[in-house]
Chain A
Amino acid sequence: MHIHKFEQFWIKLSFVLIAFFIATVVYGFVAMDLKVIGDHATIDPQNLEDTPFGNPGVREVTRNGQTEYEVYVQTIQFAFNPGTAQPIEVPVDTRVTFYVTSPDVLHGFDVAGTNLNTMAIPGQVAKFTTIFPEVREYGIVCNEYCGPAHHVMEGKIKVVPKSEFDISNLVE
C-alpha cells in the first residue's frame, strides 16, 4: 500500500493529538480530582420511603474524624426535594456528598456553570462529592427533559460560612 509521506506525517500527528487528549482527562482525574459518576447502588424507585431518600435533606456525618455532610436529593416532576421549596444549605470548604435519585422519570441535576452535573435515573443512585470553595448561591437546573413543565424545575444551593451554618435544618 502506498501512503504519501505527508499523509504518514499527518497520521502520526493525529496519534499524538489523541494521546494528548487522553492524557488531559487522566491528569484531571488524578491530579485535579475531577471524577465522573460511577456505579454506586441500585434502588427500588417505587419504595424510596424506607431509604434515606424517604427523609431527604442534609445530614451530618463524621468520617475519618472530620465533619462532613451528606445530601439526599429526590428529583420529582417538577422539583428538587430539597432544593426547590427550600435551598440546600451547606457550609463552605467542607466535603459534601450528594446522593441523587428519582422516583418517577429521568431528570438532570446540574449546578449551573459548574461541573456538578449528573443524571437522576429511577433505580440508580448517583453519588458525587465536592467541596464548595466560596460563599455564594448556585442555581440547580434540571437539564434532562422530564415532562411538560420541565422548564420550571429549578432549585438552589446556598453555601454559607461555617459560622452561619444552621444545624437545626439538618435531618436525622
Chain B
Amino acid sequence: MTFLHKYPKAAKVAKANFIVAFIALAIGGLFGFVQALHRTNVFRGFINSGEYYTLLTGHGVLLALIFTTFFIAGLFVWGVTRSLDREPENLTFTWSWFWLMTIGLVMATVAILGGLVPDSSIRAAVLYTFYPPLQAHPMFYIGLALVLIGSWMAGADWFWSYRKWRADNPNERIPILTFMTLFTMLMWYVCTIGLALEVVGLLIPWSLGWVTEIEPLLPRTLFWFFGHAVVYFWLLPAYYVWYAILPKLSGGRLFSDSMTRIVFVIFLLLSTPVGYHHQYADAGISVGFKFYAMATTLLLLLPSLITLFTVVASMEHGARQRGGKGYLKWIGKLPWDSPAFVGCAFAGIMFAAGGFSGMINASMNINLLIHNTIWVPGHFHLTVGTAVALTFMAITYWLLPQLTGRKLKHKTLALIQPYAWFLGMTLMSNAMHRAGLAGVPRRTAEPEYMGFDFEPIFGTMAEMKWQIAIGGTILTISLILFLWVVVASWLAGEKSDKPVDDHIPEPLSGVEHTPAILDNMKLWFTLALVLVVLAYAFPLWEMVADGIFSPGALPRPS
C-alpha cells in the first residue's frame, strides 16, 4: 500500500498540480537556456533582443511563480492528507481551486507569449515584478489574481482538513507535516495582502483604463511587501522536505521536533516586514525603515542557520546509523547513489552558498555595489533556482512513485541529474556573481556598451560569458534528464504495491518535548500582523496621503 492506494482522490489532485508544475518548468527552463546564450552573445539566433524581455518575463513567471506554486500545492496536498489521514473534505472545492489557478496561469502565460507574435496587442513584457508604469495587457494581471485567489482557497482547504481532524483529535499535537503546511500558508496570507492590494486594487483598474495615472512607488512597495516573503513561500516547502523527509532518505531521523516548529514560527513572524531590503536603492523610503528591514533580514539568518544545524545533524545521525564513523568520514556513508538524497543534499549546500551572497545583498550599503547587477540572478539561482527547484526535483523521485504507484525508471539518469545541476549551477552562478561585481546589469539582452568596458576585478569578461553559457547548457541538459525520467516513470514505470519505501520515522527529540505554545496559530498570526503594521503602516500612509495615484505617471505599453 502506498499513498495512491490509500488516498486515491488526494493522489489525483497532487498529480494534477505536479503536471502543471512540470510543464511550467519545461517551458521556463527552455527560456532560461535561450537567455543564457543570448545575453552572453554566444548565440542570438533564437530571438531578437526586443523579444528577450518577453522570454525573461516568461522565465520569471513560469518558474518563480507558477512552477513553485503548483508544486507546493501538490506537495502540501500529499503532506496534509497523509499526516492527518484524511482525504480532502470536499472534492468540488479542491478541484475548483486547482482549476482557478490553472485558468489564471493560462491567462497570464497567453498574455506573455503574445509578445512573440508580430503586431500582437496582447503583450506583457513587464517581467515577473511588473513594475508600473510599464503596462501589460489586463489579462496578465487578472490571470495572476486568479492564481492568487486559487492559492488562498488551497490554503483554506488544508485548514478545513485540519479543523475536521482537530474535532476528532482534540488533544493531539498538530502533526509536523501539517504544522509546516499551515504555518507556511499563514505566512502566505500575511504577505499576499500586499500583492492583492497591488494587483486588484491598483493594477487591474489601471490596465483596464479606469484610471490613467499611477504612482510608481506605491505598487512597487506593495510588491516587495509580498516579494520577500514569497521567497520564503518557496523555501519553506523545501525546508519541509529537508526536515521531514531528508533525514529519512539519509537513513536517520529528524533531530528535533521543537526546533522545526520554532523555525517555522520565526519565518511566519519575520518574513514580511523585511520587504524594503529590495528597495535599498529607492528614493522615497527613509533610511530608518531601510535599517529596520535590514536588521530584521539579518535576524532571519537565525532560522536558516538553525535549519542548517538540524539538517546536518539529522544527516549525520543517518550516516552513523548506516555505519559511518569519525568526524567527517561519516559523510562518505551517506547514500550518494540515491537521486532523491543527492538532490536534496546539493540543494542544501547551494543554499548555504546562496546564504553568503544573500548576506551581502542584505547589508544595505554594501548592497549598492551589486544592486540590480547580474550578481542578483547569480544569488537567487542558488536559492530559488537550486535550493528550492532541485529539492522539488529530487523529492519528485521519491513522491512520484507514491502518487502513481509505479517504480522510478532510468535510475542512472536520475542519479546523474542532480550532479549535473550542481555542476552547471556552480559554473553559471559563480560567473554571474563575478560579472555582477564588475557592474554587468541583470535583465539586459545585450550587456555590451559602446562607450566603456566593464573592468572585472580578475578574470576576463569573455571567460565569464562562456562560463555562464556552458553552465546554462549543463543545467538545461540536467532539466531534460529530469523531465525524461518523470515522463518515462509516470507512463511506463513498473506497477507496484510498494514502489518506494515511504515510511517516515519519528524524530529523535519528539513532539512531547515541544512547548504547546508553538502550536498556537492565532497568537503567532496576530503577532505577525502587528509586525507588518509596524513596518509598513507609516511609509504606506505617506505614499497614499498625497493621493493614491499621485504623483502620477502615465502608462507605457510594454
Q: Which residues of B contact A155 (CB under 8 A)?
A: 451
User: Contact mask A135-172 → B, CB, 8 Å, 1/0?
Assistant: 00111011111111111101110000000000000000
Which of A32-40, A54-62, A63-71 is found at the contact surface with chain B? A32-40
- The answer to whether B217 touches A151 (Cβ under 8 A) is no
User: Could you tell me the distance between the alpha carbons of A106 and B553 in the complex, rounded to whole angstroms?
Assistant: 10
Are A105 and B441 CB-contacts (below 8 A) given A42-B551, A115-B368?
A: no
Are A147 and B134 CB-contacts (below 8 A) given A46-B554, A110-B373?
A: yes
- The answer to whether B215 touches A14 (Cβ under 8 A) is no
User: Could you tell me the distance between the alpha carbons of A14 and B266 in the complex, rounded to whole angstroms?
Assistant: 15
Query: Is residue B67 within 8 Å, beta carbon to beta carbon, of the partner chain?
Result: no
Q: Which residues of A contact B301 (CB under 8 A)?
A: 14, 17-18, 21
Are A36 and B280 CB-contacts (below 8 A) given A122-B553, A148-B53?
A: yes
User: Could you tell me the distance between the alpha carbons of A145 and B377 in the complex, rounded to whole angstroms?
Assistant: 14
| B551, closest chain A residue (CB) | A123
- The answer to whether A25 touches B552 (Cβ under 8 A) is no
What is the size, in residues, of chain A's interface with B at 8 Å between Cβ atoms? 73
- The answer to whether A148 touches B302 (Cβ under 8 A) is no
- The answer to whether A38 touches B441 (Cβ under 8 A) is no
How far, in Å, is B6 (CB) from chain A's closest CB?
Answer: 33
Q: Which of A6, A112, A152 contacts B439 (CB 8 A)?
A: A112
- Which residues 220-234 in B have Cβ within 8 Å of A in the complex? 220
- Which residues 7-42 in B have Cβ within 8 Å of A in the complex? none
User: Contact mask A7-41 → B, CB, 8 Å, 1/0?
Assistant: 10011001101100110110011000011111110
- Which residues 103-156 in B have Cβ within 8 Å of A in the complex? 125, 127, 131, 133-134
Q: Which residues of B contact A90 (CB under 8 A)?
A: none
- The answer to whether B553 touches A1 (Cβ under 8 A) is no
- The answer to whether A46 touches B285 (Cβ under 8 A) is no
- The answer to whether B133 touches A122 (Cβ under 8 A) is yes
Query: Is residue A94 within 8 Å, beta carbon to beta carbon, of the partner chain?
Result: no
- The answer to whether A108 touches B216 (Cβ under 8 A) is no
Query: Is residue B491 within 8 Å, beta carbon to beta carbon, of the partner chain?
Result: no
Are A36 and B441 CB-contacts (below 8 A) given A18-B299, A106-B216, A138-B452?
A: no
- The answer to whether B220 touches A147 (Cβ under 8 A) is no
| A11, closest chain B residue (CB) | B306
Q: Which residues of B contact A35 (CB under 8 A)?
A: 287, 365
Are A25 and B441 CB-contacts (below 8 A) given A14-B302, A43-B551, A104-B133?
A: no
- The answer to whether A105 touches B556 (Cβ under 8 A) is yes
Which of B290-298, B319-327, B384-392, B462-470 is found at the contact surface with chain A? B290-298
| B213, closest chain A residue (CB) | A46
- The answer to whether A143 touches B365 (Cβ under 8 A) is no
Closest A-B pairs by Cβ, 10 of them? A112-B439, A139-B452, A123-B551, A126-B283, A143-B441, A143-B372, A122-B553, A124-B284, A34-B365, A124-B283
24 A-B contacts, Cβ less than 8 Å apart? Answer: A1-B513, A25-B364, A36-B280, A36-B368, A38-B286, A44-B550, A77-B556, A100-B283, A104-B133, A113-B438, A114-B439, A115-B369, A117-B281, A121-B220, A121-B283, A123-B553, A124-B217, A139-B452, A143-B371, A143-B443, A143-B444, A145-B134, A148-B53, A154-B449
Which B residues have a C-beta under 8 Å from some C-beta of A?
49-50, 52-53, 125, 127, 131, 133-134, 215-217, 220, 255-256, 258-259, 279-287, 290, 294-295, 298-299, 301-302, 305-306, 309-310, 313, 359, 362-369, 371-373, 437-447, 449-455, 509, 513-515, 546, 550-554, 556, 558
